[in-house]
Amino acid sequence: MSEVPSITLAEVVVRGGEVVHETYGPDTGPDTTLISWSTGKSVTHALVGIAVREGLLDLDAPAPVPEWAGDDRQAITLRQLLHMTSGLRFVEDYVDDSISHCIDMLFGAGQADVAAYAAALPLDHPPDSVFNYSSGTTNIISRIVGQAVGGGEAAMRAFMEAELFGPLGMTSADPRFDAAGTFIGSSFLYCTARDFARFGQLYLGDGVWEGRRLLPEGWVDLARTPAPAPVDEEFGYGAHWWLWDRHGFPGTFAAHGYEGQYIIVRPDRDLVVVRLGKTPIEVRPPVIEHLQGLLDAW
């Protein structure tokens, strides 16, 4: 049996605000934009925070989802959605399209309106009782933010540029939208590795960038506060960010994406590590070991 290949396309380490390590793979360089996959979920977390800062959204009010009016889902809060503890049904599988809501949502029946696809699924568990990682949940959240800032693709693009990408200098940021005008925040943001590192720096700086507070006070703490339901995964989970405590890095948290995309924030070392590539899950352990080495090397 041939070995499954693992390709690193970009790797950037920033310490104290300076790039201290940078490498690129085949046909890739500092100006190459690469897909976020699920690291985009953590960007969606930031967009929610900005909307909360502006008084447009309330974390603990029932989430404004029209499909849930009058049924047992209507009490689900935005905080529960961020923690992936809403109780909603969603099968997050990236290989078997016969059982995957994720594949059907992104590439099949749901692709024209990803949030409506996810919002139509039933409640399987009481909120905050079960952790269920779900790209559908993130796209529901993304639609909520989009509606709060005016509705439609143009309004959301303007919001993202004015409130996040522009201030951070993420000039390469290229978010993708569905036909309904929803940012596909679960999966589809393209950026250079350096711009993903800039995003990590925002969280390293507790939501402050060059003296300007972009995220409300306490928002980064929410990201790294463990979800209220048990998380039976290799990593712990906070609110749209993964926690690295189980790997020997207490206080370190990260955005993770399919095929081995990572934006890792280690506050005690003033460190951000970005790795982007194409690594199937079955050969992921050496990548994790390598990233652990980078976290300790600087």
- At residue 46's C-alpha, the angle toward residues 45 and 48, to 5°, is 65
pLDDT for the residue numbered 4: 66
User: 179 burial class (0-12, 13-18, 19+ CB within 10 angstroms)?
Assistant: exposed
**To 10 degrees, what angle do helices 193-204 and 39-53 make?**
50
pLDDT for the residue numbered 161: 98
pLDDT for the residue numbered 93: 78
Q: What is the amino acid identity at position 2?
A: S
Fill in the DSSP letter of residue 95: S
Give me the average pLDDT of each 10-residue run along the chain (298 residues).
76 97 95 97 98 98 96 97 97 76 93 97 97 98 98 98 98 98 98 98 98 98 97 96 97 96 98 96 91 94
Cα dihedral across residues 268, 227, 82, 282: positive or negative: positive
Cα dihedral across residues 52, 54, 58, 63: positive or negative: negative
Q: Return all residues near 10 (Cβ < 8 A) that are at least 6 apart.
A: 23, 24, 25, 28, 32, 34, 192, 193, 274, 275, 276, 277
CA–CA separation, 138 and 241 (whole Å): 12
Fill in the DSSP letter of residue 164: I
Distances (CA, A) of 260 to 7, 66, 175, 190, 276: 9, 35, 19, 15, 6
SS3 275: strand
The domain segmentation of the chain, as residue ranges, is 7-297
Q: Return all residues near 239 (Cβ < 8 A) that are at least 6 apart.
A: 45, 79, 82, 83, 222, 223, 225, 227
CA–CA separation, 277 and 275 (whole Å): 7
CA–CA separation, 197 and 220 (whole Å): 16
Q: Which of 3.40.710.10, 3.40.50.300, 3.30.70.60, 1.10.3370.10 is the CATH number of 7-297? A: 3.40.710.10
Question: CA 157 from chain center: how many Å?
Answer: 17
| Ramachandran area for residue 296 (φ above 0: left; ψ -120 to 50: alpha; else beta) | alpha
Q: How far apart are the first and last CA of the chain?
A: 37
